[in-house]
Structures are given as C-alpha cells and as structure tokens.
Amino acid sequence: MAGLLYLHSTLLTSASALRRRAGAPASSSRRRCRVEAKIREIFMPALSSTMTEGKIISWTAAEGDRLAKGDPVVVVESDKADMDVETFHDGFLAAVLVPAGESAPVGSAIALLAESEEEIPLAQSQFASFSPSSSPPPPQETAAQEASPPPPAPAAVSAPAPPSPATQGGVRVVASPYAKKLAKDLGVDLFSVTGSGPGGRIVAKDAEAAAAAPKKAAPVAAARPDVPLGSTVLFTTMQGAVSKNMVESLAVPTFRVGYTITTDALDALYKKIKSKGVTMTALLAKATAMALVQHPVVNSSCRDGKSFTYNSSISIAVAVAVDGGLITPVLQDADKVDIYSLSRKWKELVDKARAKQLQPHEYNSGTFTLSNLGMFGVDRFDAILPPGTGAIMALGALQPTVVGTKDGRIGIKNQMQVNVTADHRVIYGADLAAFLQTLSKIIEDPKDLTF
C-alpha cells in the first residue's frame, strides 16, 4: 500500500517568473513551462481523507539518489498509519525540504526531484530561494483522487485534525474551535483546562492562560505506583474474566517445551524494514504463523476432551498489558497478511486496546497465543494456556549470548529463548519440538517473512 506522491511543477519558479515578468511579460509563461518539466516538487500526499498534515518518519532515498517511477522515497506517518510513498516520475532526489522527524501540511513541498543529475545543483539553489519563510505552500497538484485510498483497516480511529471534544474517560471537554486550535499550537492539554466560557466551555483565553501558567512539575516517571495499600479491591470486570479463565485452565493437562533461537538475521531484517513501520511483534507473529502452517496440530484446539478441531485459519493472539489488566488482540490470518499490513493492523489493535475499544472478535478469536516479556529483560518464562486454544508461546528477550559454533570457536550471537505451553491431550512433545524447529529455521533465515 504505497501512496503516490503528488508531483507538481507549476509554481516552483513563481518567484523567478515574477522577476522576469517585469521585463518580458509575454515570455514568462512559456519559459516557465520549460523549467517546470525538469525540476518537480514532491508533495506531502494526502494518505487519507482526513489527513491534514503528515510527519516524515524517514527518507528512504537520500539526496542525489537516482529514483525510478514507483520507487519508495519517504515514509510518512499520517493520522492513521505509516505509509511508504513512491515517486511518480523518474529522476534524482535533488533536495529534501522537510527532514525526517518534521511534519508538513498535506500538499506542501517536501522535496525536489530533478530530471537529470546536472540539474541537482539548480534545484538546490531553487530550494535556497524557495524555503526561507516563503509564501504559504503553493496550490496543490492534481486532485486527491490520485492518492491511494487510505488503509482499509483503521475504522474506529477518531477524527484527526481538530481534536474533538470527545468523551474520553467519561470526561467531556467542550472547547471552542479557536481554543482547540490554540491549545494544539501551544501544546495545552484541554483536559487540564477549566473553561470560563458559557456553560463552562473552554474559550481561547483559557487556552492562552493555561499555556502561560507555570507548568506543574511532571510526575516522576518511576514514581511508586499509586495504589491504596492495605485495602481490599474488588476485581474489575477484566480482572474477573482473567481470574475465571486462569482457574479453568487447570482442567487442561499442559506441558512445556523450550527452545533457543538465534535471531541475528531477524534483527538485521528488522533494522532494514523498521522505517516502514514494521514492528518486532508483527515479525514474530508472522514467523509463528508461517511455522503453524506446517504444523496444523499445534494450531488445533480441544474443548470437550473427546475431539479436537484443526482450526481453519491461523489467528495469532498477542498478550498486551493494559491499564488494569491484560488483553489479547488478535492478528487474523497472520500467515496470509503481508508483514506491512500486519504491522499496521497491530498498531491499530494496540491503540484500540489502550482506548478499550476492541470488539470481542478482535480479542477472543485467537488460535495460538504469543506472550512476550522480553522488553523487561526477562530471558525465559512460562505461560498459562488460555482455555480453548492448543498452545501458547512465551518469548524471552533477544540478547547477545556467547555461543560455541560448529567449527569449534566461540562467538556472540543474538538469541532468544522461547517456551511453548501446550494441551497434551492433542499436542504431543514431538509435535511441539518439530514446530519449534521449523520456527527457528524461519527466524534464522527470515527472508520469507517479507515475501
């Protein structure tokens, strides 16, 4: 899913055309056409109908690089997802106008594309006259409909540009349009502002006052968790559900098999495609799903103790700690969906999970579960099998480990310990061992993950 760049050329030369205009009005338009054919502007594309500005995650091409039509140039983070953006024309990336990490409004120029190598200096000199506090971004090139449609997934993501006085955490914020605009510009959190307008509405001066007020000392990140010590707290609905499931799991005879997997190749791949928004979680889910394709029994489930089901699809549930509990958003058909879509899907699911907006089918349809505590430095642990599934895999940290190699030397490799808990009624030791071997092969040679 790559967006297409708007390439546009008319106004690049407007400043110079203007100068010329004074002397030779008639020729300006013609000459402009000649210039415009050679140096084009690359515009911040509208990746979704609601996007008003985009943040540049990274430039995949560097200044001076030769680009062919369709080559990815830049990764843009829109309000919905990160997208690879491709160029529409052949040429050389002459100048990057908006560096990585900065944002630009939709339709504004973010880079210049020269048609030939000789024109790079010309483009760069134009950049010099083009950028400094210059006029508002020039009118945009051909129409929105050329942009690729927004990614299909993010349905429930809230509206972007003007933060809406949505209900969040049960608190409603009513703020006037200008107050919202100011708050955004001044970096004021409207939830912390008391409104002085009619009906307690936040108006512009409230936002300004809040921005002017000395900032309260931010709570120290590592502060002690704020819990009422010594008191008894009733389970929340989520805690209740977890408790029930955990007790139910005792009825299933489980066993565990561990494996150590070398991840150097996976790390290298991750570094390469990280800029495209791919996450390690998505890579591991993808690898697991591909291994499960070859071992359908590990993806099966036994519910009644008399029969078991080979699940028709591979849906990887990944445990996520959320405020007040644990939830397992599900990556459906993880074996079939490509890694980029899978990463976007994952990002969306996590956002929804944090906002407590997951729909039931988005967290209870997993056929195989992943649980990862590696980010805390945990090197190995043991997971409880969620009822209704056949197996769960606990992932430890990826860490450099001293290993002996086959040729008798000692080397350092990145390794990860995994530990699978499975229902022994249907999955036997040899099944798990074979599955883990397949998984380790996939991770150690991960080129198929990106197909």
Partner 1 sequence: MQSTAAVSVSASAIATGGARSGAARRPGGVRVCGLRGEALACSSLRISQAPARRAATKAAAAANGAVAGSGGFDYDLVIIGAGVGGHGAALHAVEEGLKTAIIEGDVVGGTCVNRGCVPSKALLAVSGRMRELQDEHHMKSLGLQVSSPGYDRQAVANHANNLASKIRSNLTNSMKALGVDILTGVGTIVGKQKVRYGKVGFPDKEITARNIIIATGSVPFVPKGIEIDGKTVFTSDHALKLESVPDWIAIVGSGYIGLEFSDVYTALGSEVTFVEALDQLMPGFDPEIAKLAQRVLINPRKIDYHMGVFASKITPAKDGKPVLIELIDAKTKEHKETLEVDAALIATGRAPFTKGLGLENINVVTQRGFVPVDERMRVMDADGSVVPNLYCIGDANGKLMLAHTASAQGISVVEQISGRDHILNHLSIPAACFTHPEISMVGLTEPQAREKAEKEGFEINVVKTSFKANTKALAENEGDGLAKLIYRPDTGEILGVHILGLHAADLIHEASNAIALGTRVQDIKFAVHAHPTLSEVLDELFKAAKLQPREGRDSKPKQPPQPLLKVLGFITSLLSSQ
Q: How far apart are CA 249 and CA 72, in angstroms?
A: 48
Least distance from partner 1 to the Cβ atom of residue 177, Å = 4
**Interacting positions 92-151 with partner 1 (CB under 8 A):** 105-107, 135-145
Number of residues that bind partner 1 (CB under 8 A): 51
At closest approach, how far in Å is the CB of 122 from partner 1? 20
Question: Residue 326: how many CB atoms within 10 A of its CB?
Answer: 14
Cβ neighbours of residue 385 closer than 8 Å, sequence gap 6 or more? 249, 252, 254, 391, 392, 421, 422, 423
User: Looking at beta carbons only, is 162 or 411 nearer to partner 1?
Assistant: 162
Among 37, 128, 159, 375, binds partner 1 (CB under 8 A): 159
Q: Amino acid letter at 346?
A: W
Footprint of partner 1 on 343-372 (CB under 8 A): none
Torsion angle (degrees, nearest 10) of CA 320, 322, 328, 331: -70
CB nearer to partner 1: give 24 or 234.
24
- Closest separation in Å from C-beta 436 to partner 1: 44
Q: Which is nearer to partner 1, 32 or 286 (CB)?
A: 32
Question: Which one of the listed residues 8, 89, 295, 424 is annotated catalytic?
Answer: 424
The Cα 289–Cα 421 span in angstroms is 16
In the bound state with partner 1, the residue whose beta carbon lies nearer, of 54 and 396, is 54
The smaller minimum CB distance to partner 1, of residues 28 and 279, is found at 28
Chain-centroid distance, C-alpha 391: 27
- Residue 309 as a binder of partner 1 (CB under 8 A): the answer is no
Q: Which is nearer to partner 1, 129 or 243 (CB)?
A: 129
* CA pair distance 139, 146, nearest whole angstrom: 16
Q: Collect all residues with Cβ–Cβ distance below 8 Å to 245 and sequence separation of at least 6.
A: 386, 387
Tokens of 15: 């400043």
With CB under 8 A as the contact rule, which of the stretches 22-30, 114-122, 312-320, 438-446 interacts with partner 1? 22-30
258 binds partner 1, rule: CB under 8 A: no
User: Considering only CA atoms, which of 373, 367, 196 is closest in space to residue 296?
Assistant: 367
Q: Compute CA 63 distance to the chain's CA centroid, rounded to the nearest angstrom.
A: 26
Binding residue (CB under 8 A) for partner 1 from 23, 24, 30, 216: 30
Contacts for 359-364: CB closer than 8 Å, 24+ residues apart: 361/330, 362/329, 362/330, 363/317, 363/327, 363/328, 363/329, 363/330, 364/328, 364/330
What whole-number distance in Å separates Cα of residue 270 and Cα of residue 280? Answer: 7
Nearest distance from C-beta of residue 154 to partner 1, angstroms? 14
Listed ranges 44-52, 125-133, 278-286, 425-433: which one lies at the site for partner 1 (CB under 8 A): 44-52
> CB of 398 within 8 A of CB of 414?
yes
Q: How far is the CB of 143 from partner 1 (least distance, A)?
A: 5
Could you tell me the smallest distance in angstroms from the CB atom of residue 165 to partner 1?
7
- Cβ 432 to partner 1, closest distance in Å? 44
Cβ at position 146, least distance to partner 1 in Å: 10
Dihedral over Cα of 284, 290, 296, 302: its sign: positive
Q: What contacts 376, CB < 8 A, 6 or more positions away?
A: 397
Q: Which DSSP string corresponds to 209-230?
A: HHHHSPPPPPPPTTPPP---TT
Strand partners, 59: 74
Q: How far is the CB of 96 from partner 1 (least distance, A)?
A: 22
In sequence order, which residues have a C-beta less than 8 Å from that of residue 78 and are 6 or more positions away? 47, 48, 51, 54, 150
What character string, x for contact with partner 1 (CB under 8 A) and - otherwise, covers 164-203? xxxx------x-xxxxxx---------------xxx-x-x
Give whichever of 163 and 387 is closer to partner 1, judged by the CB atom: 163
Among 23, 25, 230, 404, binds partner 1 (CB under 8 A): 25
Taking CB under 8 A as the binding criterion, the range among 6-14, 124-132, 299-307, 421-429 that sits at the site for partner 1 is 6-14
Q: Which is nearer to partner 1, 152 or 411 (CB)?
A: 152
**Per CB under 8 A, 10 contacts partner 1:** yes
Q: For partner 1, which is the closer residue by CB, 10 or 275?
A: 10
Paired tokens of 359: 């729909």
Distance in angstroms (rounded) separating the CA atoms of residues 398 and 418? 10
Among the listed ranges 16-24, 61-69, 118-126, 305-313, the one in contact with partner 1 (CB under 8 A) is 16-24
> Is 361 one of the catalytic residues?
no
- Which residues make up the interface to partner 1 (CB under 8 A)? 10-11, 14, 17-18, 21-22, 25-26, 28-30, 32-33, 49-50, 52, 105-107, 135-145, 159, 161-162, 164-167, 174, 176-181, 197-199, 201, 203-204
The set of catalytic residues is 424
